[in-house]
């Protein structure tokens, strides 16, 4: 179908916009797998020294919230199943390691199946040669067959080449002690609650026998490289491999992303062989508010992202708050008026809205942030289309897509005017709900 003919035909369809969040994401089956949302999950990979000569160890963790798993009733249990695939590639795109495993989750209380505060955690250890890798992680729900995927680069350190070295940093979610034994539950998402009393870091130190203690300094910077926090402590070395726990007290940091470094030097540097010995390790983490969706790290940006559903007077009221706490209070008031189930601690509509914003940012970014693009705008308002027609290479026609929302009686046409994937909304041409451009 020619694009202009399509526009003329579709122009006969007139319907006012309805704000349809709610169940759209769960009900639709997408023909375009790129837009089919799989289970949200969190992943972390931490590199340690290995007991095998010439190798290092990767501890890979996958965390899936229960609300992202489809549970079925089996006898007295509710059972959910998902499959994890971890693929590790060299920079030359050669497959170096692949691990596939299935996870069964069994609970007796139905409320646990829909909780975003309860999660399934699984872990695998992988012996690997030191070097730089690309890692792909896939999680597939066995019942819905929907799959989500993430990629990240991975540096596996050679801990044998330096006299003193530190492993990667693990952020600890929960630490318990029984006698001399310590049990660690990692914080895989690296999201730290602003209301937390504090949290622990775990790192391993690898030191030669002549070092009996280390002076450790850990520092937190914001993304502008401004120092926000700094502490020092000494740690006794218990052998070639020393397990180190560092406590960070409540930082009271604003929401956002931060950079953490840990530096170690021998306490006794009088020996000539130790004067140059030092080690550094680092990682990022985020600080968030417990009563806001995980996707929100910048409140001002989250307020701007309300433009598709908020009146200008409502936006002005929130923006004009005199201090950050008042602004946060007004923001939550906006959403509390739209809470579909005020009896629960979670505002499902707010969570759904910002999960769509996050998806748009990940999938529709071009010259603008994904949420500001035309495809992002429609996705945030309507969710995943129920059907997509793609026309990328038709003769004498610019690439275009048609998104269909049958239940809402809506169709949207996007045209790539430049040929560089910048799809602009061409139908409808009016009532574009706060369009950016």
**How does DSSP assign 213-254, residue by residue?**
EEEEEEEEEETT--EEEEEEEEEE--SSEEEEEEEEE---PP
Are residues 366 and 373 in contact, defined by beta-carbon separation less than 8 angstroms? yes
pLDDT in tens, the chain (437 residues): 333 333 322 222 222 233 444 333 322 333 343 445 678 899 999 999 999 999 999 999 999 999 899 999 999 999 999 999 999 999 999 999 999 999 999 999 998 998 878 999 999 999 999 999 999 999 999 999 999 999 999 999 999 888 899 999 999 988 887 777 778 889 998 888 765 577 889 999 998 877 889 999 999 999 889 999 899 999 999 888 999 999 887 667 888 889 999 999 998 765 555 667 899 999 999 888 878 887 888 899 999 999 999 999 999 999 999 888 899 999 999 999 999 988 877 888 998 999 899 989 988 988 889 999 999 999 999 999 999 999 988 888 899 999 999 998 999 999 998 888 889 999 987 555 544 44
CA 29/CA 138 separation, integer angstroms: 19
Question: What is the value of pTM for the model shown?
Answer: 0.75
> End-to-end alpha-carbon separation of the chain, Å?
27
- The structure tokens listed for 410 are 């809506």
Which H or E run contains 321?
Answer: none
Topology match between the domains 38-158 and 162-290: yes
- Going by their DSSP bridges, the two strands 77-90 and 95-107 should be labelled as antiparallel
Domain boundaries of the chain, sorted by first residue: 3-36+291-427, 38-158, 162-290
Q: Give the pLDDT confidence score for residue 115 in this predicted structure.
A: 81
Domain 38-158: top CATH class: mainly beta
Are residues 182 and 142 in contact, defined by beta-carbon separation less than 8 angstroms? no
Task: Domain 162-290: give its CATH architecture.
Answer: Sandwich (2.60)
CA 114/CA 19 separation, integer angstroms: 24
Query: Phi and psi dihedrals of 248, rounded to 5?
Result: -105, 115
Q: Give the pLDDT confidence score for residue 250 in this predicted structure.
A: 67
Q: Give the pLDDT confidence score for residue 37 in this predicted structure.
A: 62
């Amino acid at each position: 179908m020619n694009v202009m003919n399509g526009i003329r035909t579709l122009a006969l369809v007139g319907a006012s916009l309805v704000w349809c969040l709610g169940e759209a994401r769960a009900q639709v089956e997408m023909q375009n797998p790129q837009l089919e949302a799989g289970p949200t999950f969190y992943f972390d990979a931490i590199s340690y020294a290995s007991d095998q000569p010439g190798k290092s160890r990767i501890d890979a963790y996958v965390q899936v919230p229960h609300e992202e798993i489809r549970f079925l009733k089996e006898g007295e249990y509710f059972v959910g199943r998902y499959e994890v695939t971890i693929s590790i590639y060299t920079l030359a795109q050669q497959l170096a390691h692949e691990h596939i495993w299935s996870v069964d989750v069994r609970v007796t209380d139905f409320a646990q199946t829909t909780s975003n505060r309860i999660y399934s955690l699984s872990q695998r250890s992988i012996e690997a040669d030191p070097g730089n890798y690309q890692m792909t992680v896939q999680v597939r729900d066995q019942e819905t067959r929907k799959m989500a995927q993430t990629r990240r680069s991975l540096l596996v350190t050679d801990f044998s080449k330096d006299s003193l070295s530190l492993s990667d940093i693990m952020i600890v979610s929960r630490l318990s002690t029984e006698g001399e034994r310590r049990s660690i539950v990692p914080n895989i998402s690296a999201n730290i609650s602003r209301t937390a009393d504090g949290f622990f870091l775990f790192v391993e130190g690898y030191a030669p026998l002549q070092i009996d203690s280390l002076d450790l300094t850990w520092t937190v910077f914001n993304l502008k490289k401004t120092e926000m926090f700094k502490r020092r402590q000494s740690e006794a070395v218990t052998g070639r491999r020393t397990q180190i726990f560092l406590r960070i007290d409540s930082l009271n940091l604003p929401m956002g992303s931060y950079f953490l470094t840990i530096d170690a030097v021998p306490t006794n540097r009088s020996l000539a062989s130790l004067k140059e010995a030092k080690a550094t390790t680092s990682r990022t983490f985020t600080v968030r508010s417990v009563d806001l969706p995980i996707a929100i790290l910048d409140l001002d940006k989250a307020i701007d992202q309300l433009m598709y559903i908020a009146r200008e007077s409502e936006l002005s009221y929130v923006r004009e708050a005199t201090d950050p706490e008042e602004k946060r209070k007004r923001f939550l008031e906006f959403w509390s008026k739209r809470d579909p189930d005020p009896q629960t601690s979670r505002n499902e509509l707010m969570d759904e809205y910002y999960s769509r914003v996050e998806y748009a940012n990940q999938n529709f970014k071009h010259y603008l942030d994904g949420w500001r693009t035309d495809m992002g705008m429609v996705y945030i308002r309507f969710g995943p289309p129920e059907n997509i027609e793609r026309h990328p290479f038709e003769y004498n026609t610019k690439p275009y897509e048609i998104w269909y929302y049958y239940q809402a009686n809506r169709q949207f046409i996007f045209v790539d005017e430049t040929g560089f994937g910048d799809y602009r909304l061409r139908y409808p041409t009016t009532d574009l709900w706060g369009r950016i451009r």
